[in-house]
A = this chain, B = another copy of it.
Amino acid sequence: MTQSIVALLYGPDQPGIVAKLAGWIHERGGNVLHADQHLDRQENVFFQRVEWDPIQPCDLSEEANSFKEMASMELGMNVRMALSGDCPKVAIMVSTAGHCFHDLILRVRAGEWDAEFAGVISNHSILEEASRSYGLPFLHCPVSSANKPEVEEMQLDWIRKQGVELVVLARYMQILSKEFLEKVGCPVINIHHSFLPSFAGAKPYHQAYRRGVKLIGATAHYVTEDLDEGPIIGQDVAQVSHRHGPSDLIEKGRDLEKIVLASAVRRHLQNRVLVYRNKTVVFD
């Protein structure tokens, strides 16, 4: 396997950025494997994902730091770096529905993504046995309005101790507090079971049934303190008809939720997603 470095960056557009970044890599003997850029002309912001093989024997991490320094100092860019071989630690938060939970874990076990599950946090115990059979620690945290602050503290504690770099809400039916989100120290991805902004909030399939829509959807997004309002990473829909009652929508929706959440987590883990002004730039 080749070694490679990925840089994700954005900042004020200016002439010559592409030449400058590609030139820096070339001068140090590196070879660009992929590069993709986007220019938001309304905001005049430049976005890029560039992946290169340094070719010369070098410390990948030092090389990445040098790039980051150059791009931030000389070009005013906001920069995130990743190295081949990185294997970020992921925590899953889940309630009772296991479809996304199994799907994510089986993908990692099949080698689809470079990631390692740190463990499972749940307000129910229903997936405890399944977690253990996958060899994953299971943190059982029943939540009530009374104990929510302490429970969240315990969850944060565990997340920090494990060195978690991504939290995935795989149908976790609790709202995370503003405090939790401020302290968690890593991105949190959620799957919402509707085509946002339609049917935000509770029981979206029942809302969809009542409105008589002909497509149902699922949306994966980064969690912010505004419920179901965070930057959207991906969405998909499926056709439904008058024949589908609420329980059919729920069943049909499970397949959508799995696919949309998995696709968003994969893009995040492959460092393809930049967030800017509550929207995402996704380099596919």
Is A102 a contact of B98 with CB atoms below 8 Å?
no
Give A194's nearest chain B residue, CB to CB. B198
Residues A212 and B242 in contact in the complex (CB < 8 Å), given A39-B34, A259-B255: no
Residue of A36, A41, A217, A242 ringed by the most chain B CB atoms within 10 A: A242
Question: Would you give the shortest CB distance from A62 to chain B, in whole angstroms?
Answer: 20
Q: Which residues of B contact A110 (CB under 8 A)?
A: 98-99
- Please tell me the number of chain A residues within 8 Å of chain B, measured between CB atoms: 66
Residues A279 and B242 in contact in the complex (CB < 8 Å), given A98-B110, A232-B212: yes
Cα distance, A220 to B15, chains bound together (Å): 38
Give A15's nearest chain B residue, CB to CB. B31
Secondary structure type dominating chain A contacts: mixed
Binds B, one of A16-24, A116-124, A159-167, A177-185: A16-24
Cα distance, A152 to B229, chains bound together (Å): 40
Give A24's nearest chain B residue, CB to CB. B19
Binds B, one of A71-79, A80-88, A143-151, A233-241: A233-241
Decide if A60 is an interface residue (CB 8 Å cutoff): no
A→B interface (CB under 8 Å): 15-20, 22-23, 25-27, 29-42, 47, 55, 98-99, 102, 106, 110, 112, 133, 195-199, 211-215, 217, 231-237, 241-243, 245, 251, 255, 259, 262, 278-282, 284
Q: List 26 A-B contacts (CB under 8 A).
A: A15-B26, A15-B55, A16-B26, A16-B31, A18-B18, A18-B22, A19-B19, A19-B22, A19-B23, A22-B22, A32-B37, A42-B245, A47-B242, A133-B133, A195-B198, A195-B217, A196-B211, A197-B213, A211-B232, A211-B279, A212-B231, A212-B280, A213-B235, A214-B232, A242-B279, A255-B259
